[in-house]
Amino acid sequence: MQNIDFELRGEFITLDSLLKATGLAESGGRARMMVTEGKIEVDGQQELRKTAKIRPGQTVALHGVRIHVKADPSLE
């Protein structure tokens, strides 16, 4: 399984924006479609909300890829 560490530059990022920012979706439309199709898990649970707020400490998984969302150290 591929692991990606994503450094968050704020309080949260929406799920569709995270998929696009990590390059796992080539567009926002494709990211929203992936969520709608039920292909995304957040902290081990299927997530169907396209604009779910993803915060530091959460893990997003899909297609053998796991994204670990971390806080930007300069904001702490």
The string of pLDDT tens digits covering residues 4-58 is 999 998 899 999 999 999 999 999 999 999 999 999 999 999 999 999 999 999 9
Q: Where are the domains of the chain?
A: 2-75
For residue 76, what pLDDT is reported? Answer: 55
- For 2-75, the fitting CATH number among 3.30.413.10, 3.10.290.10, 3.40.50.970, 3.30.565.10 is 3.10.290.10
Contact 6, 67 (CB under 8 A): yes
For residue 11, what pLDDT is reported? Answer: 92
| pTM (predicted TM-score) | 0.91
Per-residue pLDDT band for 1 (boundaries 50, 70, 90) equals confident
For residue 63, what pLDDT is reported? Answer: 87
Q: Which of 34, 32, 29 is nearest to 63 (CA)?
A: 34
